[in-house]
Structure 1
Amino acid sequence: MKRPLDGLIVLEFCQYMAGPWAGLRLSDLGARVIKVERPVKGEACRQLATKNMIVDGDSLVFHTANRGKESYAANLKDPGDLAEVKQLIAKADVLTHNFRPGVMEKLGLDYDAAKALNPKLIYASVTGYGTEGPWRAKPGQDLLAQSMSGVLYVSGKNDAPPTPLGLAVADGICGVHLTQGILAALVRRGRTGQGALVEVSLLQSLIDLQFEALTTYLNDGGRAPQRSAVSAGHPYQGAPYGIYATSDGFLALAMGSLEKLGEVLQLDALQNYDGSTDAFTKADEIRRVLADHLQSQPTADVLEQLEAADVWCGRVMGYDELRAHPGYQALDVEQTVTRDGAPPVKTLRSPIRFNGERLFDPKAAPRVGAHNDAVRKEILDA
């Protein structure tokens, strides 16, 4: 299968997650992604252990974000290595980095310097909080960005403390935004021949992820979102929206008619509410009625009733139940990647299909400097 970005060269001066997340997606789409990293130790994420899991000397999280890439080891403070890197920049299509503001300038690899080497280059950077303002020098880390974005006050019940999302969500959405910007710049370059500077930040990506909630806040007199006292869900959605305990698990209810829900569950109490207004003004009162009823009902029985009536609902599943379900298996999301002499790593493939085909890449993350000779031969000396 010929992939859409086949033939493009991406130089990745990135560490940890947000920048490498974008590089991973570009690699899945066919680009040749070359990690430019320090000799011996490589980029910092190689030592960032997830649950202390190490595979062949590198952290499992590094394997997750860097499969399919190449590694070019270079000491950017060494004049000879830096000269070679500049030659690579002159032949690349895309450069990504997530150093703090000012670092690339000190190295002589800032946008203006790179543009002088390669006017058609797409130069893409990730920062924690932008390149201006009082936060510009703060460390760009996922939990810290979450803590400053307001997102900790939209999860959980109203008596819970600020609740972070249990994923690197800032890194993930920022990586998606970086990819979008790069792809748009490549399309523009195809029309005009011009390169571009693409900039994203963890904080703004997280703020943008909350566009629905923040738009409501901005147009509701600045009233803060109120989390439910009964069930966790969306603070700006009315009843029945939320997660409810059943006799043997948990059930999610999305938007829907209270009248219809009452009929299906044979809950006369729900007929006493005006769904157009009470769903919001009396949301927790309604949720308590549902919670009291559902806690004695088996999940499967409730799902059968609700799904037959086309009520939007779902079973709350953990990883074991998810992976065992035919719906998950039909997606074929898992793949195994390998590198010579190392144990295989189970991970996920790209979620994108192209012309009806799933995108798989069997190559694991590279060892430090594993492709120096190939890069010199195939790019620098070509």
Structure 2
Amino acid sequence: MLATVYKSIPHVKITPLKIANSAFKSIHSQCDRNYPLEGVRVLDLTRIVAGPYCTMILGDLGAEVIKIERPGSGDEARKWGPPFINTTTETAYFVCLNRNKKSVCVDLKSQKGRDILYKLAEKSDVLVENYVPGKLDEMGLGYEHFKGIAPHLIYCSISGFGPDGPYRNKPGYDVIAASMGGFLHITGPQGGEPCKAGVAMTDLSTGLYAHGAIMAGLFQRTKTGKGQKIDCNLLSTQIASLINIGSNYLNTGKEASRWGTAHESIVPYEAFPTKDGYYTIGTGSDLQFQDLCGKLKRPDLAENEKFKTNQLRVKHRIELINTLRSIIVTKTKKEWSEIFEGGSFPSGPVNSLKETFDDPHVKEIGLVQNLEHPVAGTVRVVGPPVKYSDGGNSVRSPPPTLGQHTKDVLETILKYSTKQINDLKKENIIQ
């Protein structure tokens, strides 16, 4: 661990930059360079979605992720079923967010349990938690408690609303942040009710922001030799994710509205009904629109004075969309895929999950992978979506059962004896 290296050179009189670079080189000379985070240890005190998603990405990149769970129950997502996998108690929800991790059950309300975490922090590089701000401080597990014990630690807090402001103690879930952050206001059918996204996009975006922030923190530590606290929250992430819609309001005062699958500023750009479902078409330029009209065997549409430019197409949206709908509804998704093959404009069918995972492209790139779970048997997961030319990331181990690695971690990392471990079990400090 980088922490170990720092402690091994406390009396060397060189600048923090040189200390950090020496540590960085020392660690990476001893490990497999195929994984960017090989040799980095992460303490994962997160549950549900945003935090576990963040730490799973770090685990995919080679970090050793130790998931600290409550004895007896663990991560709440372990109970979020049905569906369960292969008639076991393992939920599909938990499985999708917790591969490449070790589960250690520790009672953090007890002093002996906190002592275990302090000792692990000394030998770790990152701690990620997603408690309501202030909760861990009350338990003696806040950043200030760890800063003295492990000054090298990157401590990342993920919360609903952050540590400041009037909402700081308010619990936050994805749909609440999406509601308060404007996302539900702009999502749903035109003139209809607000809709949440089909998956927890605010949670996932926050997990991605947190993962990137942790990587930046680790990189900065190679320059300074010091850890730091990072705060990520769902509401700020959601508002930042409004991108052009937020910019429209901030700079022009333009209020947003719901457009279904359509685009406010580009026409055509939406899902059209076909004989057997929906097909999405987007034309981001006038040349792409001309190409679409050619594929539809309606070159007259491209020549129509009402539709020659995108600005005109936006103005005459209803007339053009109604015409396109009357054409596209005459064929199936498969037929349109064949007709649009090789086109300059983006297009694709609205797939069911079966169609998505049966897609020949998805199969050929090997995105779905199989893991052998100790209880549930074969488990299928969607692997990392990012590829590296030199190693990078991979799915190496299945999501852990509750407390599966407690004994191993205490023995191998903290050097606890069998008697110490058994005594802690008898006291219900660990599981």
Q: TM-score, normalised by structure 1?
A: 0.92
Q: Indicate the residue corresponding to 1:152 in structure 2.
A: 184
Q: Indicate the residue corresponding to 1:272 in structure 2.
A: 305
Q: 2:262 aligns with which of 200, 209, 233?
A: 233
Of 193-202 and 55-64, deviating more is: 55-64
Shift in Å, 1:135 = 2.1
Of 296-305 and 128-137, deviating more is: 296-305
Q: 1:238 and 1:221 mapped to 2: Cα distance?
A: 20
SS in 1 for 2:253: coil
Change (3 A) 1:293 1:128: same
RMSD: 2.2
Q: 1:174 and 1:342 mapped to 2: Cα distance?
A: 29
CA contact (8 A) 1:248 1:299 kept: yes
Equivalent AA in structure 2 for residue 373 of structure 1:
K
Correspondence 1:295 to 2:329:
yes
Q: 1:361 and 1:261 mapped to 2: Cα distance?
A: 40
Q: Indicate the residue corresponding to 1:133 in structure 2.
A: 165
Q: Indicate the residue corresponding to 2:233 in structure 1.
A: 201
Shift in Å, 1:52 = 5.7
Equivalent AA in structure 1 for residue 175 of structure 2:
L
Q: Indicate the residue corresponding to 1:251 in structure 2.
A: 279
* Structure 1 unaligned regions, length at least 5: none
Identity %: 28
Change (3 A) 1:253 1:356: farther
Q: Indicate the residue corresponding to 1:334 in structure 2.
A: 368
SS in 1 for 2:364: helix
CA contact (8 A) 2:203 2:234 kept: yes
SS in 2 for 1:346: strand
Of 141-150 and 298-307, deviating more is: 298-307
Shift in Å, 1:269 = 4.2
CA contact (8 A) 2:275 2:333 kept: yes
Shift in Å, 1:14 = 0.7
Q: 2:405 aligns with which of 365, 371, 376?
A: 371
* Structure 2 unaligned regions, length at least 5: 1-31, 417-431
Change (3 A) 1:154 1:331: farther
Q: Indicate the residue corresponding to 1:261 in structure 2.
A: 292
Q: 2:195 and 2:206 mapped to 1: Cα distance?
A: 20
CA contact (8 A) 2:178 2:235 kept: yes
Change (3 A) 1:188 1:297: same
CA contact (8 A) 1:269 1:289 kept: no
Correspondence 1:349 to 2:383:
yes
Q: 1:277 and 1:176 mapped to 2: Cα distance?
A: 35
Structure 1 residues 100-139: aligned runs within 5 Å: 100-139=132-171
Q: 2:119 aligns with which of 76, 82, 87?
A: 87
Cα deviations by residue, 1:190-225 (Å, 9 ceiling, x for unpaired): 122111111111111122222122112322323323
Change (3 A) 1:219 1:71: same
Cα deviations by residue, 1:87-130 (Å, 9 ceiling, x for unpaired): 11122100000000111110111111111111110000100112
Equivalent AA in structure 1 for residue 374 of structure 2:
D
Equivalent AA in structure 1 for residue 181 of structure 2:
S
Equivalent AA in structure 2 for residue 179 of structure 1:
H
SS in 2 for 1:81: helix
Q: 2:36 and 2:108 mapped to 1: Cα distance?
A: 31
Number of residue pairs matched by the alignment:
378
Cα deviations by residue, 1:202-261 (Å, 9 ceiling, x for unpaired): 111122222122112322323323526xxx233x33210111012233211112424443
| Structure having the higher Rg | 2
Cα deviations by residue, 1:154-200 (Å, 9 ceiling, x for unpaired): 33321321011010111111110000000000010012211111111
CA contact (8 A) 2:245 2:256 kept: no
Q: Which runs of 4+ in 1 moved over 6 A?
A: none
Q: Indicate the residue corresponding to 1:64 in structure 2.
A: 96
Q: TM-score, normalised by structure 2?
A: 0.82
SS in 2 for 1:186: helix
Shift in Å, 1:299 = 3.3
Equivalent AA in structure 2 for residue 199 of structure 1:
D
Shift in Å, 1:54 = 7.8
SS in 1 for 2:96: helix
